[in-house]
Amino acid sequence: MCGIVGYIGKKHRAQSVLLDGLRRLEYRGYDSAGIAFHDEKKVISCRAQGKVAKLEQKVLKTEKEGVVGIAHTRWATHGKPSVRNAHPHRAGKIHLVHNGIIENYSLLKKELEKKGHVFTSDTDTEVIAHLIEQENKKYDFEHAVIRAAAKLQGAYGIVVMHADEPQKLIALRESSPLVLGIGKEAFILASDASAIVSYTKRVVYIDDGEMVVLTPHEYHVENMERIKQNKSEEILQWDEKQAQKEGYAHFMLKEIHDQPHSIADAMRGRIDVAHGTVKLGGLASVSDRLRDIKRVIFVSCGTSYNAGLVGEYMFEEFSGIPTEVEYASEFRYRTPIVDENTAVIAISQSGETADTLAAVREAKSQGALTLGIVNAVGSTIARETDAGIYNHAGPEIGVASTKAFTSQLVILALFAVLLGRQRSLSLVRGKEILAELAKIPKQVEAILTQEKAIKKLAKKYAKYENFFYLGRKYNYPIAIEGALKIKEISYVHAESYPMGELKHGPIALIDKQFPSVVLAPKDSVYDKTLSGIEEIKARSGKVLVVTTEGAKEVKRHADDVIILPQTIEMLTPLLAVIPLQVFSYYVGVSRGLDVDQPRNLAKSVTVE
């Protein structure tokens, strides 16, 4: 949540670099935006409520450029979206942007007010600027930043600029992502590599408790004790083109259409059909421990949690390991029972999800094997878990996840086969699963050829304000994901249930104005699902069914039908979710909404 950018270089281009970075980070927050840059005479600051385009109009009017600056796009936590609450925040000569939450800001604010500090916003962030200003009365800029940080409780990624030191930027990190891009005669700081990739692919990931000091000529990283840290450079593995719309109306639609490729990339080089097994290089270092695992717990949030629910079915059926799925936000607040024979697997698109990272740290402290399934190379979860698997889905800009989710399902299927083959899964069954998995990209392409028909259905159903999403077994989690998607994108009320639970209360809501989206592939629970559809129709409910080729019976009861290619039961979620994504997208478009940047949401949830 929130996007931060900092730039320092030898050339006068701070304004353009910062604005470009904000545009690329806008999916992290779009309540307000701001920029401050030094033109070698003074600091020029502009802030605006709303999206980055409004800020850009203000900045262009200044007709100024600088060699150093900071910028921010906000997702509100403390204080409503407004110009006064937009970053950068200022205290005297200190200008600052911040991603995270300062938990003890109220106490700090009272202490500072007693010392004469006057606050002009409702944010927790402004406290940091005033703390640094206070410490700067006795200490130099760098030391003042360190002393101020020592008083903070919470999460922060901070970039600070001093009006009297136009040749310096300082940044700190504690539980909030921060990456340094190393360019030609320039350095760029950001909360996400997407703001950096168009300028350089050379990056350094800043760790918790580290401060980076930048000048136009060099950088150094030190810890809070002022001891310099040796940091290794890494090379970003994706390019600028991947973060562009490429002719699509929205990033979400582009990313839906990316899925034949992203699914193929998730399994590339990892399938050994001949031996009915899987090669996951990221797990090689813990292969012996995996053989001894007696229990698996998935910890995740949002869409990634739904992926974990599918993984639970896969792991238990094919590896025989008892598996649970936990909301990461709740995991550490009860008393989780884990030990060295437990694998706690964190699923996170960004690899920076605050709740999931906290769950990993709790599990690790209790001796569990911690593993990560993440899409962002070099992210905190990727670095802090014992081992892990990358999705290789490429950057996902649309706030509502699509291709990252399906890549997670691929990884979970591969992982289930790997664990199964270590145990009791037969060679024949392993080969069958992997052969069917290899067909999925082409089958997704076939589903996407139905886009016009699904768009037509979306327009038909866009008038409804309530939906049920229903499924059984492997497709119950996909019903949950489908309901989440239409809530995120269309602001429609949608509830998901296992089909068998419908008659235990929720069916009371069914009438002509309460349609149901039912997942009914021809699988082991097909007949049971048909019975549920008949119960809905008996109460005048409308039914849109997602089913598979050859399921003739369901057509007699459904109002509308979307047909999927046939696959094995465990892989039906990979196909069933695709039309639900397309459906949600076009319902949102039909309702005139911004599907890439839904209200109140941000892509990466880096605060609790």
Q: Is residue 445 part of a domain?
A: no
Same domain, 423 and 551: no
319 and 228 inside one domain: no
Residue 608 banded pLDDT, cuts 50, 70, 90: low
In a domain, 606, yes or no: no
Which residue in 460, 449, 495 sits closest to 586, CA to CA?
460
Mean pLDDT value across residues 387-398: 92
* Euclidean distance between CA atoms 149 and 95, whole angstroms: 15
More confident site: 551 or 146: 146
Q: What is the CATH number of the domain that holds 390?
A: 3.40.50.10490
pLDDT at 426 over 90: yes
268 secondary structure, DSSP code: T
Which of 308, 544, 531 shows the shortest CA–CA distance to 405? Answer: 308
Confidence at residue 78, expressed as pLDDT on a 0 to 100 scale: 87
Summarised one tens digit per residue, pLDDT across range 492-543 is 999 999 999 998 999 999 999 999 999 999 999 989 999 999 999 999 999 9
Q: pLDDT digit string (tens) for 335-357?
A: 889 999 999 999 999 888 889 99
Q: Do 380 and 395 have their domain in common? A: yes
DSSP line for 519-554: EE-SSTTHHHHHHHHHHHHTTT--EEEEEETT-HHH
User: What are the DSSP E strand ranges found in 339-485?
Assistant: 342-348, 369-374, 387-390, 466-471
Task: Indicate whether 252 and 189 sit together in one domain.
Answer: no
467 and 387 assigned to the same domain: no
pLDDT of residue 70: 97
Whether 605 is covered by a domain: the verdict is no
Final residue in a domain of this structure, among 236, 255, 271: 236
* 586 neighbors 580 (Cβ within 8 angstroms): no
Whether residues 335 and 259 fall in one domain: yes
CA distance 342 to 312: 14
Same domain, yes or no: 417 and 494: no
User: What is the total count of domains within the chain?
Assistant: 3
pTM assigned to the model: 0.86
Q: Is residue 311 part of a domain?
A: yes
| 164 contacts 339 by C-beta, under 8 angstroms | no
Is 11's pLDDT higher than 80? no
Query: Which of 172, 201, 236 finishes a domain?
Result: 236
Shared domain check, 255 and 231: no
Prior bond of 88 cis (ω within 30°): yes
Q: Which of 236, 263, 291 is the last residue of a domain?
A: 236
Same structural domain for residues 504 and 568? Answer: yes
d(Cα 177, Cα 602) in Å, to the nearest integer?
Answer: 15
Does residue 480 belong to any structural domain of this protein?
yes
Distance CA 115, CA 108 (A): 11
In a domain, 140, yes or no: yes
- At 603 the pLDDT is 66
The answer on 206 and 329 residing in a single domain is no
| Count of alpha carbons within 13 angstroms of residue 177, beta-carbon side | 31
Question: Kind and range of the H or E element at 363?
Answer: helix 354-365
What domain range is 62 assigned to? 3-236
Distance CA 269, CA 249 (A): 33
CA 266/CA 534 separation, integer angstroms: 39
- In CATH, what number is assigned to the domain containing residue 150? 3.60.20.10
Q: What pLDDT shows up at residue 606?
A: 58
Q: At what angle do helices 427-448 and 572-590 cross, to 10 degrees?
A: 20
Residue 242 has pLDDT above 70, yes or no: no
The single-letter code of the amino acid at 551 is A
Alpha-carbon span 386 to 164, nearest angstrom:
44
Residue 603 covered by a domain: no
CA distances to 71, 455, 534 from 449, rounded to whole Å, are: 42, 11, 29
Regarding whether 91 and 17 lie in a shared domain, the answer is yes
The catalytic residue positions are: 2, 603
Residues 462, 324: one domain?
no
**Does residue 392 lie in a domain region?**
yes
